[in-house]
Structures are given as structure tokens and as C-alpha cells.
């Protein structure tokens, strides 16, 4: 549905994005992850035909963004990062204006606008001018205008920023519900959000793609060692030695030195091997009491930090 | 066509929702109304005196209300247009650029031409209201005098054409910058220049004189003010209008050029 090849954009010599290649299948939700200034907005602006790339090509819904921009623009709904709206218009008036421009049939405009306002929770703001709305409500209007013509492709630049927690949950599930039929690209700084909503994640930094994969695979690909935290009552040194002998253990660290008999250990396994049962067995064999055995999964956040800082795992 | 309509409606709505149109239209009416009152009052005084003093009457020739009131009135309207229309057009694209709404507008399935024509028509609508508000003055002249309605009609037609040229130039300037003040100053300067070249034409002499005359805004208005519609004048205003609409289109398009 979306194919991006060697996309590069320079701002008068300064880096925007550099040689970005990826593709998104129909019905897929792709998350864009990256620190400030990574190039997320730049990529989205090229995909939405707001500005051209310096080189490389991008196709959306089968149309080239440069050659056939009007056809691309018919197929997309775009929520820009800054949510630029006409502050001097009332909410329904604005949405009817957008619906009109987005070729919703005349007779359906009113109905579509009512439905979308309900969907994003704007119905009780119908009488307000957009300029009078709070940030979160403006965000909802922005989302509503992107969705108003029911486009096949949605490009959402930080869609949940500025929303209250309840609304964040609602909007997330709304976006997730939109996937399946629609192809969605969204960017966010909130890592759990990205891994929750999207089927695949692109991590970009300094204008370059650092990794693309499903949130789960991404962890494996990075030899994301699963860690286990254990609290075991026993002589510190012998417990540690016994734990280190377990197959697949890369490293054992004493993390909770109480000075007494019960200490906490952090075990690091390689290749995602889950050795919980081995830890339990070791404790039993040594006749030590096992107080805690908790798998510690590496979060996407850890991965993200590792990737962008390019630390060896 | 459909998009043109939606943009036109949005433009008109935002003009009416903001104080800009109100202020511009009011000031236009007050300035032109004040001027009208002055020339009309002067005319009345002179013609009243002329009734008792035949010498004075012969001095002024036939006291002609068209000559002494209508024509100068059109002259002043065109000057006030020159000042006020840039205030109307300056916001058209600059405001959208500044507020960032241009980012959404340009990613809607709208052709650049539709956006420009919609904004142009919106300004023309407000301008038509401005001109329309001066019609009562003409009716006043009709009540107290005997103006040539032919001249009035061609005069308004000429003003309308001139206004369309002013507006299209203003929209082009607005498409160049996100700063409304710069847009207004650029349009005002360009309009003033095109207005003044007519006066300096005679200094140039020869072919240059003709060229400068042809280029000037007021040179082409002269015939309209005499009740004559000359196609070459019409073509001049229409050409200027189309030229700047075309340039505005290029200016919007240039955002999509690879650079
Ligand atoms: N209009 C512009 N002119 C010049 N440089 C720009 C412009 N827009 C973006 N850049 C540069 O391009 C790079 C990528 O910016 P971009 O806005 O795409 O980042 P981002 O990933 O969206 O960041 P954020 O998370 O802060 O929104 C940055 O280095 C930025 O300084
Ligand atoms: Mg951004």
C-alpha cells in the first residue's frame, strides 16, 4: 500500500532524512519511533505530498506522490503534528468544509460529520469555535478531519499527544479498530503505545532507518536477552556460582545484597532462552529457599535506547 | 468546481467572522462617502450660485453633474481601492502559511487553481459589497441632479475590472510570504507603481510613453469614466488579473517542485 524507496530530503544542505526505505502492506499499522529531529514528520510530509523529496520515490495506494499527487491525496487522511485548524470556524462547519473538499457526496456530508464527531467524542463541542477549544479537543478535531472521508490510508503524526488518559485509551483503540481495512502510519514518542497499536515498528534516528520489525521480533533480532530476577536464601557465593552454571546463562548479578541470607540476583540469558525452571531446580538442588522468580522482559524502550545509542548488547 | 465552491464559502465565512472585512468595508465607505459629500456639496453650492449669477454659469460651462461629481468620485474610489484592497488580500495565503493550515489545505485533494480561484472569488465578493455600498450615493445624485447613467454603469464596470486586477495581484503577493504585513506592503507598492507609471509616461516620450501608458492602471480607466467600454481596456485588466492568478498558481506549485 505504501512503498518508500531510498527517500532522501535535505533542507538546503541540512539533513532531513537520508535514504529511507520501507513498505507497508494493506491493512497494516506501522509505528514510527525516533527521538526529536529523527525525521518522522519529514517522512510523513513527503508521503502526504506536502513537500517533495530531494531524491528517491514513494508510492501510496499505487500512486507516486510526486507524479500523481492529487490521486494520492484523495486516498489519505493526514493529521499533522501541529494540528493546524481554522480557529475562526465552528467544529461542525469546519468538518463539513473538509468533508466537502475530500469529495464526500453532498448528501452524506452532514451525516458523516455527525458520525465522526461522535466517534472522537466531540458532539458536546458542536457549538464552539475551534479557537476556543482546549489542546486535547483540537487534537480530536484534527483526528476527525483526517477520518471524515473514511480514507484507506491514514498518516497520523503523534495522534495521542495532549489527550487525557481516558481519551488516549479511546483513541488508541479507535486507531487499532481502524486497522485491518485501512493502512495506518503513526508516529509517537510513547513506546508502549507504539508496541501496543502497531504491528510493525520502524526505528529511525538522525534521518536513517535503524530497524524495522514487529515489536516481538525486534527484541529477538537484537538478541534481547531475557532477564530473570530471583531472590534466593542461601550463601551468596555458592548461590551465585550455582546459578552461573545453568545452561544459557550469560551473566549473574547480585542486585540486592541484604547482608543477610536472602539476596536478590539478576540472571541474563542469551538468545531469549527462558530458564526460569532451571533456576527453580538449582535452588531445590542446593536446598535453598526460593522467594521470588520474576521474568524481566526487555521493553521496547530499552531496545530503542540501545539502538539509537548503538550500544552492543 | 465543487472545491472552488467550498473554498469560496469558507473564505466568505472567515471574512465575515473576522473584523477585517468589516473594518475594510467600513473605512472604504467612510472615505469615499466623505469625499462624495464634499464634491457633491461643492457642486450644489456652485450650481445654486450659478442660478443667480449667469456669469459664473458660463465660466463653468454647462454645469454637468457627471463631469463634476461622478467622474472625480470614481477617481477617488480607485485610489481608496488601491489602499484598501491589499488589506483584504494580504491574509489570503500568508495567514494560512503562518498558522500552518496550508499544510492541511495542500494535502487535501484540491487543485492549486481551485484554491486560488476560491480565494480570489471570496475577495471579489467582499469588494463587490464595498462597491455596492457606494450605489446609494449615485441614487442621491439622481434625486438632485441628472447624471448620465451610462457613465455610471461603465464606471462601475471599469472599477470592478480594476479591482479584480488589484485583488489578483494582492493574492499573488500573499502567496509569496507568510508575513501579512510584507504581503500588504508588496501589493501596495506594486499597485502604486502601476498607478504612477501613467503620470510619468509623458516624460519618457516615444514608444516608451505608449508602453508606460498602456501599463498603467488609471490610463485604462479613462474610457470607462467617459462611458466608453473599449475592449483593449477590458483586455488589459483581464490580462493583469489572469497573469497574477497564473503566477499565484506557480507560486503554490513551487512548494511541490523538487529542490
Ligand atoms: N522546515 C525545515 N527547515 C529546515 N530543517 C528542517 C525543517 N523541518 C525539519 N527540519 C530538520 O529535519 C530534521 C528532521 O525533522 P523532523 O521534524 O522530521 O523530526 P521528527 O522526527 O518529526 O522530530 P519530533 O519528534 O521532534 O517531531 C531535523 O533535523 C530538523 O531540524
Ligand atoms: Mg515530528
Structural domains in chain A, sorted by start? 2-219 (3.40.50.300), 225-297 (3.30.70.260)
Atom of ligand 1 nearest to the CA of A38: 21
For residue B2, the distance in angstroms to the closest alpha carbon of chain A comes to: 8
Q: Of A50, A66, A89, which has the smallest distance from its Cβ to B107's Cβ?
A: A50
- Kindly tell me if the per-residue pLDDT of A219 is higher than 70: no
Q: What's the mean pLDDT when you consider all of chain A?
A: 85
Q: Of B2, B9, B103, which has the smallest distance from its Cβ to A80's Cβ?
A: B103
Pairing state of beta strands A153-157 and A183-188?
A: parallel
Mark which residues 22-51 of A lie under 8 Å from B by CB: 45, 48-51
Across A183-198, average pLDDT: 84
The better pLDDT of the pair A184, A173 is held by A184
**In terms of Cα–Cα distance, which of A292, A281, A283 is closest to A234?**
A283
B9: chain A residues, CB-CB within 8 Å: 97
Written in H, E and C, the secondary structure of B152-221 is HHHHHHHHHHHHHHHHHHHHHHHHHCCCHHHHHHHHHHHHHHHHHHHHHHHHHCHHHHHHHHHHCCCCCH
**pLDDT tens by residue, A26-56:** 989 999 988 888 899 999 999 999 999 999 9
Give the length of chain A: 313
Give the ligand whose atoms come closest to the C-alpha of residue A39: 1
Number of domains within chain B: 1
Q: Of A84, A88, A145, which has the smallest distance from its Cβ to B103's Cβ?
A: A84
- Kindly tell me if the per-residue pLDDT of A76 is higher than 90: yes
- Kindly tell me if the per-residue pLDDT of A311 is higher than 50: no
Residue A41: partners with Cβ closer than 8 Å, 6 or more residues away: A80, A81, A157, A187
Residue A176: which pLDDT band, with cuts at 50, 70 and 90? confident
The better pLDDT of the pair A228, A154 is held by A154
Pairing state of beta strands A2-11 and A14-24?
A: antiparallel
B55 lies in which domain range? 2-258
Residue nearest to atom 17 of ligand 1 (CA): A41
Residue B83: partners with Cβ closer than 8 Å, 6 or more residues away: B188
Q: A54 vs B108: CB contact, 8 Å cut-off?
A: no
* Ligand 2 centroid from CA A50, angstroms: 14
Grid coordinates representing B102 are 496550508
**pLDDT tens by residue, B41-80:** 888 887 777 777 766 666 655 567 777 788 888 989 999 9
Give the ligand whose atoms come closest to the C-alpha of residue A80: 2
* Ligand 2 centroid from CA A82, angstroms: 9
* Ligand 1 centroid from CA A53, angstroms: 14
Pairing state of beta strands A153-157 and A76-79?
A: parallel
Q: What pLDDT is recorded for position A63?
A: 93
Pocket of ligand 1 contains residue A11 by CB under 6 Å: yes
- Kindly tell me if the per-residue pLDDT of B257 is higher than 80: no
CA B204 to chain centre: 27
**pLDDT tens by residue, A230-258:** 888 888 888 888 888 888 788 888 887 77
Across B175-188, average pLDDT: 95
Across A260-287, average pLDDT: 81
**In terms of Cα–Cα distance, which of B242, B241, B245 is closest to B92?**
B245
Atom of ligand 1 nearest to the CA of A12: 4
| C-beta separation of B3 from A101 below 8 A | yes
**How many A/B residue pairs have CB atoms within 8 Å?**
76
Q: What pLDDT is recorded for position B56?
A: 63
Q: What pLDDT is recorded for position A313?
A: 34
Pocket of ligand 1 contains residue A82 by CB under 6 Å: no
- Edge-first strand order for the sheet with A153-157 is A76-79, A153-157, A183-188, A29-33, A200-205, A208-213
Q: What pLDDT is recorded for position A252?
A: 86
Q: What pLDDT is recorded for position A157?
A: 93
The residue in chain A having the minimum alpha-carbon distance to the alpha carbon of residue B108 is A73
The residue in chain A having the minimum alpha-carbon distance to the alpha carbon of residue B96 is A86
In chain B, which residue ranges form alpha helices assigned H by DSSP? 2-17, 19-52, 54-59, 65, 71-89, 91-99, 101-107, 112-132, 135-144, 149-176, 180-204, 206-215, 221-225, 231-253
The better pLDDT of the pair B230, B124 is held by B124
A145: chain B residues, CB-CB within 8 Å: 104
Amino acid at each position: 500500500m505504501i512503498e518508500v524507496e531510498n527517500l532522501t530530503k535535505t533542507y538546503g544542505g541540512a539533513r532531513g532524512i537520508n535514504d529511507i526505505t520501507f513498505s507497508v502492506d494493506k491493512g497494516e499499522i506501522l509505528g514510527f519511533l525516533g527521538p526529536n529531529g529523527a525525521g518522522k514528520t519529514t517522512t510523513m510530509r513527503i508521503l502526504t505530498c506536502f513537500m517533495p523529496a530531494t531524491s528517491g520515490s514513494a508510492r501510496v495506494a499505487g500512486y507516486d506522490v510526486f507524479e500523481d499527487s492529487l490521486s494520492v491525496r484523495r486516498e489519505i487522511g493526514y493529521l499533522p503534528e501541529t494540528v493546524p485548524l481554522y480557529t475562526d470556524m465552528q467544529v461542525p462547519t469546519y468538518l463539513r468544509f473538509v468533508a466537502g473538499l475530500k469529495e464526500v457526496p453532498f448528501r452524506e456530508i452532514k451525516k458523516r460529520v455527525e458520525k465522526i464527531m461522535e466517534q472522537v467524542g466531540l458532539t458536546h463541542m458542536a457549538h464552539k469555535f475551534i479557537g476556543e477549544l482546549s489542546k486535547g479537543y483540537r487534537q480530536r478535531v484534527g483526528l476527525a478531519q483526517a477520518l471524515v472521508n473514511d480514507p484507506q490510508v491514514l498518516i497520523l503524526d503523534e495522534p495521542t499527544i495532549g489527550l487525557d488518559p481516558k481519551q488516549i485509551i479511546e483513541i488508541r483503540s479507535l486507531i487499532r479498530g481502524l486497522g485491518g481495512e485501512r493502512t495506518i502510519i503513526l508516529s509517537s514518542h510513547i513506546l508502549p503505545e507504539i508496541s501496543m497499536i502497531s504491528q510493525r515498528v520502524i526505528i529511525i534516528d538522525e534521518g536513517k532507518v535503524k530497524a524495522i520489525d514487529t515489536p516481538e521480533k525486534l527484541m529477538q533480532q537484537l538478541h534481547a536477552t531475557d532477564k530473570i530476577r530471583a531472590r534466593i536464601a542461601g550463601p551468596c557465593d555458592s548461590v551465585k556460582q550455582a546459578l552461573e552454571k545453568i545452561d544459557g546463562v550469560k551473566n549473574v548479578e547480585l542486585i540486592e545484597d541484604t547482608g543477610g541470607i536472602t539476596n536478590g540476583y539478576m540472571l541474563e540469558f542469551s538468545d531469549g532462552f527462558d530458564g526460569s525452571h532451571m533456576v527453580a531446580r538449582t535452588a531445590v538442588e542446593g536446598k535453598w529457599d526460593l522467594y521470588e522468580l520474576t521474568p524481566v522482559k526487555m521493553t521496547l524502550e530499552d531496545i530503542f535506547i540501545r539502538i539509537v545509542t548503538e550500544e552492543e548488547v | 468546481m465543487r472545491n472552488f465552491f467550498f473554498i469560496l464559502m469558507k473564505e466568505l465565512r472567515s471574512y465575515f467572522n473576522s473584523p477585517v472585512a468589516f473594518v475594510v468595508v467600513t473605512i472604504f465607505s467612510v472615505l469615499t462617502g466623505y469625499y462624495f459629500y464634499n464634491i457633491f456639496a461643492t457642486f450644489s453650492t456652485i450650481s445654486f450660485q450659478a442660478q443667480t449669477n449667469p456669469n459664473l454659469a458660463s465660466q463653468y460651462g454647462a454645469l454637468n453633474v457627471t463631469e463634476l461629481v461622478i467622474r472625480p468620485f470614481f477617481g477617488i474610489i480607485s485610489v481608496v481601492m488601491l489602499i484598501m484592497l491589499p488589506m483584504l488580500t494580504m491574509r489570503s495565503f500568508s495567514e494560512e502559511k503562518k498558522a500552518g493550515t496550508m499544510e492541511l489545505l495542500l494535502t487535501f485533494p484540491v487543485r492549486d487553481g481551485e484554491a486560488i480561484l476560491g480565494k480570489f472569488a471570496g475577495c471579489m465578493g467582499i469588494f463587490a459589497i464595498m462597491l455596492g455600498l457606494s450605489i446609494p450615493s449615485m441614487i442621491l445624485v439622481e434625486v438632485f441632479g441628472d447624471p448620465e447613467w451610462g457613465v455610471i454603469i461603465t464606471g462601475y464596470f471599469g472599477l470592478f475590472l480594476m479591482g479584480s486586477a488589484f485583488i489578483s495581484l494582492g493574492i499573488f503577493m500573499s502567496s509569496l510570504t507568510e508575513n501579512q504585513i510584507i504581503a500588504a506592503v508588496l501589493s501596495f507598492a506594486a499597485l502604486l507603481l502601476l498607478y504612477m507609471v501613467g503620470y510619468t509616461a509623458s516624460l519618457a516620450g516615444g514608444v516608451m510613453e505608449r508602453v508606460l501608458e498602456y501599463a498603467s492602471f488609471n490610463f485604462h480607466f479613462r474610457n470607462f469614466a467617459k462611458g466608453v467600454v473599449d475592449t483593449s481596456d477590458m483586455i488589459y485588466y483581464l490580462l493583469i488579473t489572469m497573469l497574477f492568478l497564473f503566477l499565484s498558481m506557480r507560486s503554490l506549485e513551487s512548494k511541490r517542485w523538487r529542490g
